[in-house]
Structure 1
Amino acid sequence: MKELVLRHKVHRSFTIPLIRQLAYSTSLANSRSLLNTFRCSFTLYKFGRRLVHSVKAMESAPEPVIVNHVGDRVQLKFTYSEPQFNFKRVFNMDRSEQEQMSVLTARISSNIEKFLAKKASKVNKKNRSSGSPPVDAAVIQPAVSLLLDGKPAEPQLSCAEALVEQGARAALHIGRLRYRLSVNPPAVLSLSLPSSLMAGFPVHPGRLQLAFSEHAELCWQREDPAADGGWRVVGSSHSYMPSAEDIGHRLRLVCVPVNGERRGETVTVVSEQDVQAGPGPCPFDQRHAFTRTVTCQDSYRVVSYNILADLYADSDFTRTVLHPYCPPYALNIDYRKQLIVKELMGYNGDIVCLQEVDKKVYEGDLEPMFETAGLEGVFTPKGGQVTEGLVCFYRSSKLRLVDTERVVLGEMVSEDPLYADVEKACAQNDQLRDRLTKRTQTLQVNVLDVVPPPDADRPPRRLVVANTHLYFHPNADHIRALQIGICMRHLERLIERLRTEEPGREVALLFCGDFNSCPEFSVLRLMTTQRLEEDLQDFSSAPGEEVHGVSFQHPYRIASACGTPEYTNYVDKFRGCLDYIFYMTDFMDVQQVVPLPSHEEVTRHTALPSVVIPSDHLALVADLGWRPAPPN
């Protein structure tokens, strides 16, 4: 280095005599030799200048090494550059927390050497074509070491000990670069925007995942060439409602993770498409006129809605056979979930039971949006490997979750003596057993304590909120009869146990769902008449799978809050009432039923789903209130 710097200082005194010697030389060979020497010296001079510049750049403070401790892994992220090669690269490493520092530093050195060698190869290829001498990446291969309080760390220290536990004292040296460590800083793991954005429909970050962060600061921006930097700030909340001004422009979301006073790296995402005009007025806009405000403390707006899982909507069979009348773009989940979110949020529900909810939609869309509205949620997957399930949201200012339970109906038959008669019927009929026990239908049960008004003078209350989606097949009335019977036996046992444990507490049942059963069949009959007899016609609905020796009963007076509308499911080849909100009439009264869309609105685009109704079902919405406590 000293020689190169010296050559830089004396290059004029070195080159002028050299040129004079060339001019007076009588030997052509000597002239060529001296000329080559000159070229080499001048190349070394330029290399020396670059190296001096590089040293100066290295002395400036670089960005820190990001260290994340996740589970039993230690993840590192740092940027390394070599200006003389025009080389700059971000290195990401994922190592065991038990790995010794000597191994890690050797790995860092090896990784840098590998990429420097590749870069040197490209530089030398260019140098060969220009006649410049080759460069050797090995001569600038930096040494790697970890220092604690300025002293070399013990090489046998583990990554967790050296980088995480003592990260505040540590510095990573790579050559003359000194990196400070930032341990577990707030970070954005993933962030995206939906592919479909429409004016008048809320947009929110998709797949927003944070690490070591309490929350994220969000800034919504609209593309605008007249604004500073080409983007104009339009919002700062978790969601943004695009307006007519946004049509034809892209949106950008800037996200900063925050944990206390620590702020992580800013992550920015830009929408793939411009904001488009919406589909116009939707039927649920009219329904929102009945739900503009939240109900009072002793009342609950209950919503039950099968939102049509993307698992079933996103297929060629759905687009060409089940719902060929619906434009493919309107079956896309990025389009549909904008309508679903706007519809659900506009109901201002207190208890929202959903069926056919994709886990990714729950985690990435519904849960964050409902959280901003003051509702907490529970997701219960179906049995097997299915990625959709049941969801119950509840308003945390009115209700407190005590317990939640997942009951896979087909598994209960052989596991619980409460269903011994069903097990016996299945033992006598292999076809029946397979049909019942191989189903993935699930019962979600949530026990919720009522948060009373401050001045309430009445016994404590508890709600058992059940949610289910029964078997869909047209020739499976017998299976649905068994499934609803299994549900009610389970719920009766739970309710009576809760009442026995706390005799002074009122316990009431709300049972919501897509029961896939029209009013003339077994579900409504059992719920409202309290019995299903052994000779029930539904038990013989499938030849070869008849159910014998089974009956069901329960002791509760139950009604359907929304009655039995003509249909809650309307597709090309079927329409019928399949969805219900059941409640105990001894404890609650219906205060309001939000009208369903008109037949004209439902059929305006042939059937469901459509460009204005995002599911093949209609949402049921009813306000229920506690009946006055009887006098002592």
Structure 2
Amino acid sequence: MAAAGRASSKMLRAFVRNSEGESDITISFCFNGKRHHLHRPKAQPLSQTLQRISLTIAKSLQGPRIKNKKERMSSADSPRPPPPLVSLLKDDAETVPEDVLNVNAWTSDSLFIIGDQRYHVIVNNPRIIKLQVSDLVFEGSPLVPQVSLEFASINYCKWSWLRIDKSASVQVGSQDLEMATMDSTYTPSSMKLAQLVHEGVIYWPTRADIDHHLLLQCTPFRSAEEAGNPVYYHTSRVRPQFSMKAIRRRQEHTPTPLSSSSQLRVISYNILSEKYLGKDPENPHPFYFYCNSFVMQSSYRYSLFIVEILGYNFDIACLQEVDEGYFNLSLLPIMKEVGYDGAYSRKTGQVAEGEAIIFRSSKFDLVQSSVIPLIPYLQSSTSCKDLYKSIQEAQPVLSNLMRKSSVLQVVILKAKDDNRYIIVANTHLSSGPEESFIRLMQTITCSKIISDTVTEFERSLSPDAKVSVIFCGDLNSCPCTGGYQYLTEGFVSKSHVDWTSYQYEAIPSCGCKPSSDYRSALDEELLRKMRDELLENYEEEEQEKDDQRDDPIPPPLQSSNTFNGLDVRNDIPLLDACGPLEYTHYRGVFVSVLDYVLVSREHFEIQKVIPMPSHEEVTENFALPSESFPSDHLPLICDLKWK
């Protein structure tokens, strides 16, 4: 067995960390019941390092420092133990020359000796730096450990999940990771009262686990044979499944995946990023004053989201406000476990959230994935040249437009069973309450990108290939806006109010907003105060985003004229697959249709739209998110069929 595997012998072990790119090595060992960690320069001769170790051991043998002066003077006359003899042998026999530098002296075939104690040297032992599991555990919601490794590969790690008897005393969390690295004999006492329930990285708690703690054991491996010490993590008790009657009613319409290769089920869902909830669940963002702290915890919302979305048996899901860490560490591993794959696109600037497209691996192959920042495309592409030149007259809003971080995520999928391709586009446009002009420009830019992508991609295909379009996202635009009309009707007139909305101090009234019947029954004065506070918070957040941007903002061309609009045509008019709807976003003080699934008219027919939750279900806990819904948006779900 390799050197790391030798760690199972009864001889003591000394661990040497010799990481490439660092100037020091770390030597760790236990002596006389005490752990020692010494950082020494790689370029230092071995003799100096051994001398330092000897002095360190001698000092530790003297006992604790005496604070009383008389006692300290008395102890000075007592004989002190001499520093122990410290040496390093190669192949258990040959002494390593003391002029050899540390970087070369400490190897996995060497023997480290302190007095009469002998240690096998383990260099760069596979180890776990961090192991964590969700602090809330629910029946039916998958557990994905968050693990950080050193000198190990996630592909070789071994995972075991055990159910602990209810009588066992358990402390939630992981053991001392430093101790785990050095002590191969440690096992938690709960192991004696635990039953193995699963082997593998992801575990889906069952009904039998309810009210039990779970024990996760992870053993790091560098290769199939080179193993480090296992690390253990105790979860909190497993809770019963969520209260999700409204979601279950929607899932009744999607009990199984669509079996036909000519059909596909599509979802668009803004899942609500953690970035916008406030830093403290006990003191959430003013937008969500009505949410209790339990609902605001990411471990609750994300667990509910996974159970919800998988129950829809979708083929393609376009998600917005997806935190980058959540996608990489949890969402994508879970989706791959159940037969999906996906791609992620982060917004520009320093905001660590963006869009994600998930697709069923048995139905589609990924051909291409890209992320296109909207503003650079508007400025530089040939298809947007005339548009960008024309809007230079809109000076009051142009600088603000240049600062926006929105992107268009574009994924090209090929159907496995025939010569059909889908260009799936996904975006989240600006949300400012006075940014109709900006959203219109962003929408037109998205459409230009889609049209250019279709044209360019079709050139590489055979004549019999068919290319269709699905455009999803949170457009932050209701159906009366210029952007929506441009996408669905193929044209926006220069007289549309969105072109000149930046000139108004007040927002023009929207004719398609939900009626007062859909407003929460709040005191009007309270509503006004809340709206004022939300607008103030929005302005502060936008300024903070601008301050964090790390890319230069090109100045707009100077003009003294006033911009009064532009007639713009859309090359690929789309069909609103799920509309009309009463609302897709319900935050109590703001209710509107913001989310869409838009598809190319000539390629798709709409077979079924999954009914939205009732208004009574949405408002059961005042507004969204809530105990029953993980986001302040509702997912749009529809079944399509290729023509």
Same fold (TM over 0.5): yes
- Give yes or no for the alignment of 1:571 onto 2:587: yes
Q: 1:122 to 1:299 in 2, by over 3 A?
A: same
Query: 1:275 offset after TM fit, Å?
Result: 3.5
Residue 617 (structure 1) aligned to one of 614, 626, 633: 633
Q: 1:234 to 1:74 in 2, by over 3 A?
A: farther
- Give yes or no for the alignment of 1:223 onto 2:169: no
Partner of 2:143: 203
Supply the distance in 2 between the matched residues of 1:140 and 1:418 (Cα, whole angstroms): 79
The residue type paired with residue 611 of structure 1 is E
Query: 1:481 offset after TM fit, Å?
Result: 0.6
Residue 332 (structure 2) aligned to one of 362, 367, 370: 367
Supply the distance in 1 between the matched residues of 2:594 and 2:335 (Cα, whole angstroms): 26
Residue 431 (structure 2) aligned to one of 459, 462, 472: 472
Q: Which runs of 5+ in 1 are unaligned?
A: 1-58, 453-457, 628-632
Question: More helix per residue: 1 or 2?
Answer: 1
Query: 1:370 offset after TM fit, Å?
Result: 0.8
Query: 1:408 offset after TM fit, Å?
Result: 1.7
Partner of 1:559: 575
- Give yes or no for the alignment of 1:91 onto 2:51: no
Partner of 1:268: 232
Identity score, percent? 28
Supply the distance in 2 between the matched residues of 1:616 and 1:440 (Cα, whole angstroms): 21
Which shifted more, 352-361 or 71-80?
A: 71-80
SS at match of 2:314: coil
Q: 1:428 to 1:345 in 2, by over 3 A?
A: same
Q: Is the 8 A contact 2:149 2:220 kept in 1?
A: no
Residue 509 (structure 1) aligned to one of 469, 472, 494: 469
Query: 1:352 offset after TM fit, Å?
Result: 1.6
Residue 402 (structure 1) aligned to one of 345, 348, 367: 367
Deviations 1:479-509 (A, max 9, x none): 1110010111112111101111224332221
Superposition map of 1:427-442 within 5 A = 427-442=392-407
RMSD, matched Cα: 3.5
Q: 1:474 to 1:123 in 2, by over 3 A?
A: closer
Q: Is the 8 A contact 2:57 2:84 kept in 1?
A: no
Partner of 2:273: 309
Query: 1:198 offset after TM fit, Å?
Result: 3.2
Q: Is the 8 A contact 2:277 2:285 kept in 1?
A: no
Q: 1:427 to 1:542 in 2, by over 3 A?
A: closer
Deviations 1:540-584 (A, max 9, x none): 112179754644323324212212211110111121211111111
Q: Is the 8 A contact 1:310 1:333 kept in 2?
A: yes
Partner of 1:489: 448
Q: Is the 8 A contact 1:65 1:179 kept in 2?
A: no
Supply the distance in 2 between the matched residues of 1:607 and 1:518 (Cα, whole angstroms): 19
The residue type paired with residue 64 of structure 2 is K
Q: Is the 8 A contact 1:591 1:623 kept in 2?
A: yes
Query: 1:92 offset after TM fit, Å?
Result: 7.2
Partner of 2:52: 110
Query: 1:376 offset after TM fit, Å?
Result: 1.9
Residue 62 (structure 2) aligned to one of 120, 136, 139: 120
Query: 1:335 offset after TM fit, Å?
Result: 1.5
Q: Is the 8 A contact 2:43 2:103 kept in 1?
A: no
Q: 1:330 to 1:213 in 2, by over 3 A?
A: closer
Supply the distance in 2 between the matched residues of 1:548 and 1:154 (Cα, whole angstroms): 84
Query: 1:117 offset after TM fit, Å?
Result: 1.8
Q: Which runs of 5+ in 2 are unaligned?
A: 1-8, 169-189, 506-561
Residue 600 (structure 1) aligned to one of 573, 597, 616: 616
Query: 1:626 offset after TM fit, Å?
Result: 2.6
Query: 1:410 offset after TM fit, Å?
Result: 2.5
The residue type paired with residue 613 of structure 1 is F
Query: 1:174 offset after TM fit, Å?
Result: 5.2
Q: Is the 8 A contact 2:129 2:147 kept in 1?
A: no
Supply the distance in 1 between the matched residues of 2:489 and 2:315 (Cα, whole angstroms): 28
Supply the distance in 1 between the matched residues of 2:139 and 2:467 (Cα, whole angstroms): 45
The residue type paired with residue 472 of structure 2 is C
Of structures 1 and 2, the larger Rg is shown by 1
Partner of 1:528: 488
Partner of 1:23: none
The residue type paired with residue 83 of structure 2 is I
Residue 65 (structure 1) aligned to one of 5, 10, 15: 15
Q: Is the 8 A contact 1:185 1:212 kept in 2?
A: no
- Give yes or no for the alignment of 1:194 onto 2:134: yes
